[in-house]
Amino acid sequence: MISNRTILCFASGYDAPPTSKHHVMHVLAEKNVVLWVNYHASRAPTARSSDLAHMARKLTQVCAGLKSPRKNLYVLTPLVVPLPASSWAKRLNRTLLVHQIRRALRKVGVGAVQIWSFTPDISYLLGRFHEEKVLYYCVDEHAAFSGYDRRQVARDEADLCRRANLVVTTSATLLEAKQRLNPNTILVPHGVDYDHFSKALSNHTPDPPDIAGIPRPRLGFFGLIRDWLDLDLLAEVARRRPDWHIVMIGDSTMNLSPYRPLPNLHFLGRKPYEDLPAYCRAFDVGLIPFKLNELTRAANPIKLREYLAAGLPVVSTPLPEATSYGNLVRTAEGPCDFMQAIEAELSLLLPCAVRCAADAAQAPVAARDTLASEARSAAVKNETWPARLACIFQRLSGILEECDRGDGSSAEF
């Protein structure tokens, strides 16, 4: 593990629900100082109310200045012009960002700077901070996100890949694509906050109040509710199986009005990260109902390992990274097959639950097959975020030594 460095992290909003970038930076902040730059110049805003509200929040954060939400981690929301395809905006943003970031570095920096970027379009800033290393942490096929200028993002990302010392990818699809741009590219799948989510195995974890009254079986999802989710699939399952209850946890940018009339499709909104194990405990099956497209085929859902760590059976659409888990995850495409996969998992736990209570709707979660839950959880016990970072440093040390022999500098990992 590196130490006594200043990690300059370019990533989207720190205030969002925890993702890979949060977990990685929190580990790095244990022995380094992290300056997290809330980078929000990757997509041109629209006149939609959601974008206007987002800009208002960002301006509020800009005015708030440098924040420190936890030890050794500082968050800077810089003033930028979000017009990624504009050459004049990029030149202006370079001036604005360099000035604001250098000022923040003077306040919090403790050692040599390393750039770790989770956003693909910051290569125009490289070399401005005397950084010793540049690592691009690629977790998505960014050009496939809705609302982004596909060609611009692809050009910017290609430039960053070529100029980075190291590229870390989180799925086999991303590895194949980025290796063409930089041979110093490796695959390191996402980790899991195991100690946190394995709390769901405890019989002493009560159901949260807003889910306690929802009848069983409960099929649960938590995460961002965005256009990559197949809500039509879930709605069709809900219509065909009115005795099942689908619980969706997370904030949404989608129009949910077509789905709210379904009495067994429940949208509970975003919940604190600290409460997610309790919701997992209240679920009978964890769902990953992603559409199959260019974006999701490159995805490696963190929630897959979080469900497993919590002991949940998992049913997913056939994403490549889900199928790689073999019999730990049931994959199915289309309403009929998806329902059959859910039925197969429910058949393993509902008979016991019915025997445990006269009213199946009130059957305790303890009726879940404890041995099976513990086995699922144990399967990902070693896939923690510190273990993933240790793997990065171990696997990259040889690459960096080769780079260092080429430029005469010393290895820092």
CATH numbers and ranges of domains, the chain: 6-191+384-407 (3.40.50.2000), 194-379 (3.40.50.2000)
Average pLDDT over residues 50-71: 74
What one-character-per-residue DSSP string does 144-186 give? GSTTS-HHHHHHHHHHHHHH-SEEEESSHHHHHHHHTT-SSEE
Which pLDDT belongs to residue 23?
A: 97
Map residue 305 onto helix, strand or coil.
helix
What percent of the chain clears pLDDT 90, i.e. is strictly above it?
Answer: 73
Give 290's DSSP letter. B
**Spatial separation of the C-alpha atoms in residues 193 and 199, rounded to whole Å:** 11
pLDDT, tens digit (0-9, with 9 covering 90-100), for 377-413:
999 999 999 999 998 887 767 665 665 565 544 334 4
Gap between the terminal Cα atoms of the chain: 7
Helix, strand, coil fractions of the chain, as percent rounded to 5:
45, 15, 40
pLDDT, tens digit (0-9, with 9 covering 90-100), for 219-230:
999 999 999 999
**pTM, two decimal places:** 0.89
